Structure 1
Amino acid sequence: MVHSYVMGIGEAEAFSERLKRELLALEAANVHAMLESETLVEEVLQGLEAATHCVDDMDKWLGTFNVKLRRIREDIESIETRNNKLEMQSVNNKALIQELDKLLERLCVPSEYATCLTGGKFDEARMTQNIEACEWLTGALRGLEAPNLDSTYGNMRAVKEKRAELEKLKATFVRRASGFLKKYFANLVDSMMSDKNYFSQRGQLKQPDHADLRYKCRIYAHLLLHLKSLEKNCLRPLRKAYCSSLNLLLRREARDFANELRASTKVSISPTTWLEGSPGGNQIGNSTDTSALSDAYIKMLTIFIPLLVDESSFLAHFMCFEVPALVPPGVGANGNKRGSNDDLGIMNMNSNDSKDDLQSLNESLQDLLDGIH
């Protein structure tokens, strides 16, 4: 604008006036333009207001999304925590199932064993099954006792019920086996006593032979051993029954042998007093009678003393007394080697004496030898 005018220094006022006029014209034109653009301004303001509302809405939505994202993040963390717990629980459940399976195996009673324990027969052909059932029952009972079973399981109802069931099975089997053995011992001796060939007869001295008796008893030696492990007290009546039955046999053998020996020995002495050793008996008058009487005594003692000692030793082994052997293994009471019939092969005697078993053995020996003079 300055270059549009060529003025001198004196024309400065005129120049200033002109500038003022042009400024006023520009301002008037600007106001006019502004008045003409009022509609546009309103539209811009409305747009700005709408944009402000959108920004506010967006801020609210962003706040909402932020809250939701925070909750989702928390949910994800919670899910991860639960997932870790579930994985750990799954591992624990698998371990628990394995332990429960093992426990169920202990609690399960095989049908063949249950049948054998509650109603099986005791003949020789089925003794293997009976022994297997006894071994299983013994192991099952021990498996439900500490320390073989954790105390936590011991308090479980199922374990208590199964233990009661096993105890009932044990009581049933012990009762049945004890009843069978009592009858078996009695019938075995009765069958021998009913056969006269086992005993001395007129004109024939018969040396007692219990090999067959011991063989038939040895069939049930392992059964007695298992009965002792199941219920030790059940052996007392069995020992009593065995000794009472065998005592009848020994007394019959000794009586018949003594009667026949007395009849075959000719001495001048009353037959009712010579073996009894009565102080008031008649004296033997000559050396021949004395020698015959001495030979009779020696023969009687030579046969029956080893027999009674062997029977006592067999009793100690067969009836599972935990006492030292009465004679060295494999050697009879007379110093000779014994046959395999005397060696039960079911237990090794402990050198430490058991006072209870020694007392019980003494009582059984009294029952076994009662009335044998």
Structure 2
Amino acid sequence: MTAIKHALQRDIFTPNDERLLSIVNVCKAGKKKKNCFLCATVTTERPVQVRVVKVKKSDKGDFYKRQMAWELRDLAEVDAKDASKENPEFDLHFEKVYRWVASSTAEKNSFISCIWKLNQRYLRKKVEFVNVSSQLLEELPKAEESVPSGESQSVAGGDEDALDDYQELNAREEQDIEGMMEVCEYAISNAEAFAEKLSRELQVLDGANIQSIMASEKQVNILMQLLDEALSEEMLQSVKEQMDQISQSNRLIQISNTNNGKLLDEIQFLVNYMDLSKGHIRALQDGDLSSPKGIEACINASEALLQCMNVALRPGHEKLMAVKQQQHLFTELRDTFARRLTNHLNNVFVHQCCTHFLLQYLNVSYLWQGHDQSSTLSQHTAELTLPKHSPLHRDLLRYAKLMEWLKNTQREKYDGLSRTYVDYMTRLYEREIKDFFEVAKIKMAGTTKEGKGNKFATLPRKESALKQETESLHGSSGKLTGSTSSLNKLTVQGSSSRRSQSSSLLDMGNMSASDLDVADRTKFDKIFEQVLSELEPLCLAEQDFISKFFKLQQHPTLAQVNSILVTLRKDMVRLMMNKIFQSIETELNSLIALGDKIDSFHSLYMLVKMSHHVWTAQNVDPASYLSTTLGNVLVTVKRNFDKCISGQIRQMEEVKISKKSKVGILPFVTGFEEFAELAETIFRNAERRGDLDKAYVKLIRAVFMNVEKVANESQKTPRDVVMMENFHHIFSTQSRLKISCLETERREAKHKYTDHLQSYVINSLGQPLEKLNHFFEGVEARVAQGVREEEVSYQLAFNKQELRKVIKEYPGKEVKKGLDNLYKKVDKHLCEEESLLQVVWHSMQDEFIRQYKHFEGLIGRCYPGSGITMEFTIGDMLEYFSSIAQSH
């Protein structure tokens, strides 16, 4: 190590004006062993800079190089890992932590000791040494082997220690040393003798010092004896006793004052927190619970009582008789007031509900006797409105704080009041909701007739009569439903009577067209919306009242404090609402069933309206009773909607065609058009648009499939005509309505219409010029078989004479006659409502001209120079087609 230190000083640090004080051989902890040296150095120039330098051998291993250096002032911590055991690992905390493993524990300790010494001497900010033994820090680092002579004399391992021990002599010390050396002439020549003499003199001085110390001890003992004698004298003893008495008296006075202060604090605490005023006691015992002032006084008194009962007593207070008496008084007041409050609120519930029932009975009687009473249950239901209970809620909310007090002090009485309220309100709401829905059903069925001169003709006379009337409506299939079996036997009617059919896919539900129209559906939509609009505020108002009155509302910070408590409160509100409004879901489902029975297309209106109200309720409170109930009913409505679509598809599949009349536009094709028009009106900006799009796809695919089915089964009307007309109608409908989800089907309908139009035109044009067509088909066949076009005329069956013979059979007059017959035949095939006759006729004209030109081309190529031409020209053909169209 000495040789390495010598080499490092010479090659690295001396050129940089630095002195190497300590060195340690290390490698990085946890990595592949690559040794290097950590060196502690100081600069030779002032101000002195202290560094830790990392030195390693070059890759070739022939010299050392300086790799990295850190200023000692940047060192924050030295961690030796273990102060009690030998451990070569240590950490240096600069801007990051460097973990090292020394080659030996002795080298590590020597290096750390040197760092500690440099830190103590040169730095103001002290480095923290962790897991380093205090003994190691107190000792100076041992001097390592010195650098051999001939090099810098300041490189020796003990230089730093020597610098620490050296102190400069002052003038007085220099003179004394010079005097001693002058007395001893041999001081310079014989240093050993001089040193021995100095040692003997030092021993003499040490002996003198010891004798002086011993003499001083005797004097101290004498002084202590004198003091003891003085204390034993009577005067000093009297003063001591008086001072002790004064001190004891002062201590007792201080203790007494402290105790009196503490006692006063205890008394003041009990008076402040356990004293209830006489006014509060009177309010709790006899306060008026029916007047606003009395209620306010009772609220203040109950809160004061609760504070007194909940005060946190200090240790020992519960043993005081006065405290026990006060607690007994508070308990009696609590029980007395709780009984008074419970009885009073029970009476309020009974009084309010009985009064409401009585008003219902009296108002109905007055109305039937001709008296005009507003805001009555019967008139509300006649107008399809539900009575508002805001007055009842307003009266009861005055007791909300008292209910909270009762909830915190007498939970069983609070629960009893909750059950009482729910029982009474369940009976009240059940009566109101039942009457409300009975009138809604009558209005929905359209059987409520307004009597002439009697403005109360729509009022229900009795609940039983209303029930019987509604049940008779439900059972009257002649009024509410058409003949379902007729749907299975539906036949395709003539075009003249088809427009008078129902506006559903087949018959717009289960009713005939004479019973249903747009006004009827609009009326149903308004009734259903009115029902939902009345139920929504009713439920929300009652839920809000229950939450406030029974103190079940959610506080802003409650969800963060105790989520379980929030859930319990919500469950309590939901249970109370389910009990009070237990009839709503049943009545809604009954109303929906009636609407669906009247007209299955009512499910479209109900799906849109119900979805909107569910969405609104969920935005207000997703966990509310209203949101949950409407969501359950929405499932039923969606099921009815799906059943409606499936029913329409099933009716398409069961359709039968007439063998005696032409088909024309099929009823379910026009029905889809009217269904789409109605649905687009109903579902405009609706939340459930996706359900309609899915239904569209199912219906249109069923329409496509059944159009082809009818076309294949048709005997009187050609298949191409059935396909052409119906797919043209479908394409026109989709182009007009612009239903984005049916864009693919719209293009498919156009393609089918175009293909079957072309097919019908080609097949029809083959009949007027049948022989001519057959002749040229034979010519084309010979050419296809390999006969050259100019050699076709040498074929016996297709020579020039045969061609002239065929052409002579079709002079202009015969061609016009054939076209006229063709026009009449096409007119018989096509229906009037689609108006495709002129389109087809124009297509036939174009096709005829195309065939004419094709025949002329064959004549020119296969019979060159023959001079053979058709008996009529293209101009003649245009005149034929135009005159025929105008004549019809």
Instruction: State the TM-score bracket (shorter-chain normalisation).
Output: 0.5 to 0.7
* Aligned match of 2:597: none
Alpha-carbon distance between aligned partners in 1 of 2:403 and 2:568, rounded to the nearest angstrom: 18
The equivalences for 1:1-373 within 5 A come to 81-82=248-249, 84-123=251-290, 124-143=292-311, 145=312, 149-195=313-359, 196=363, 197-201=375-379, 204-205=382-383, 206-262=385-441, 267=446, 272=467, 282=477, 283-284=480-481, 285=511, 286-287=515-516, 291=521, 295-323=526-554, 350-351=558-559, 352=563, 354-372=566-584, 373=587
Shift of 1:230: 3.1
8 Å Cα contact 2:438/2:467 also seen in 1: no
Report how many residues are paired: 280
Deviations along 1:177-196, one digit per CA (max 9) or x if unpaired, are 12211211221222222223
The amino acid that maps onto 1:199 is L
Deviations along 1:212-243, one digit per CA (max 9) or x if unpaired, are 22221222222223333334444322222222
Shift of 1:91: 3.5
8 Å Cα contact 1:201/1:260 also seen in 2: no
8 Å Cα contact 1:118/1:172 also seen in 2: yes
Alpha-carbon distance between aligned partners in 2 of 1:348 and 1:179, rounded to the nearest angstrom: 33
8 Å Cα contact 1:135/1:226 also seen in 2: yes
Gaps of 5+ in 2: 1-232, 364-374, 449-464, 482-510, 588-888
8 Å Cα contact 1:200/1:253 also seen in 2: no
Alpha-carbon distance between aligned partners in 2 of 1:191 and 1:160, rounded to the nearest angstrom: 46
Alpha-carbon distance between aligned partners in 1 of 2:408 and 2:381, rounded to the nearest angstrom: 49
Shift of 1:109: 2.1
Shift of 1:136: 0.9
Shift of 1:116: 0.9
Deviations along 1:227-283, one digit per CA (max 9) or x if unpaired, are 333344443222222222222222232233334445556646996488689996734
* Greater RCO (CA < 8 Å, at least 6 residues apart): 1
State the percentage of identical aligned residues. Answer: 18
TM-score normalised by structure 1 residue count:
0.62
Closer/same/farther in 2, CA of residues 114 and 276 from structure 1, 3 Å limit: farther
Alpha-carbon distance between aligned partners in 2 of 1:294 and 1:134, rounded to the nearest angstrom: 53
Closer/same/farther in 2, CA of residues 371 and 262 from structure 1, 3 Å limit: closer
Gaps of 5+ in 1: 1-65, 324-346
Closer/same/farther in 2, CA of residues 212 and 349 from structure 1, 3 Å limit: farther
- The more displaced of 297-306 and 109-118 is 297-306
8 Å Cα contact 1:182/1:241 also seen in 2: yes
Alpha-carbon distance between aligned partners in 2 of 1:74 and 1:276, rounded to the nearest angstrom: 114
Shift of 1:139: 1.5
8 Å Cα contact 1:316/1:361 also seen in 2: yes
8 Å Cα contact 2:377/2:387 also seen in 1: yes
The amino acid that maps onto 1:189 is C
Closer/same/farther in 2, CA of residues 312 and 98 from structure 1, 3 Å limit: closer
The amino acid that maps onto 1:170 is R
8 Å Cα contact 2:438/2:470 also seen in 1: no
Shift of 1:320: 1.0
Deviations along 1:282-333, one digit per CA (max 9) or x if unpaired, are 343432697456654443333124312331232123211144xxxxxxxxxx
8 Å Cα contact 1:116/1:129 also seen in 2: yes
8 Å Cα contact 2:386/2:433 also seen in 1: no
Closer/same/farther in 2, CA of residues 318 and 115 from structure 1, 3 Å limit: same
Shift of 1:105: 3.0
* Aligned match of 1:48: none
* Aligned match of 2:198: none
Alpha-carbon distance between aligned partners in 1 of 2:303 and 2:530, rounded to the nearest angstrom: 47
Shift of 1:156: 3.3
Shift of 1:96: 0.8
8 Å Cα contact 2:381/2:435 also seen in 1: no
Alpha-carbon distance between aligned partners in 1 of 2:321 and 2:550, rounded to the nearest angstrom: 38
Alpha-carbon distance between aligned partners in 2 of 1:237 and 1:350, rounded to the nearest angstrom: 26
- The more displaced of 154-163 and 216-225 is 154-163
Alpha-carbon distance between aligned partners in 2 of 1:361 and 1:203, rounded to the nearest angstrom: 27
8 Å Cα contact 1:321/1:357 also seen in 2: yes
Q: For 2:558, what is the secondary structure of its paired residue?
A: coil
8 Å Cα contact 2:438/2:466 also seen in 1: no
* Greater share of residues in strand: 2
Shift of 1:209: 1.6
* Aligned match of 1:42: none
The amino acid that maps onto 2:296 is T
Closer/same/farther in 2, CA of residues 281 and 86 from structure 1, 3 Å limit: farther
* Greater share of residues in helix: 1
Alpha-carbon distance between aligned partners in 1 of 2:432 and 2:466, rounded to the nearest angstrom: 18
Alpha-carbon distance between aligned partners in 1 of 2:578 and 2:296, rounded to the nearest angstrom: 33
Closer/same/farther in 2, CA of residues 257 and 314 from structure 1, 3 Å limit: same
Alpha-carbon distance between aligned partners in 1 of 2:381 and 2:252, rounded to the nearest angstrom: 95
- The more displaced of 112-121 and 99-108 is 99-108
The amino acid that maps onto 1:301 is L
8 Å Cα contact 2:444/2:524 also seen in 1: yes
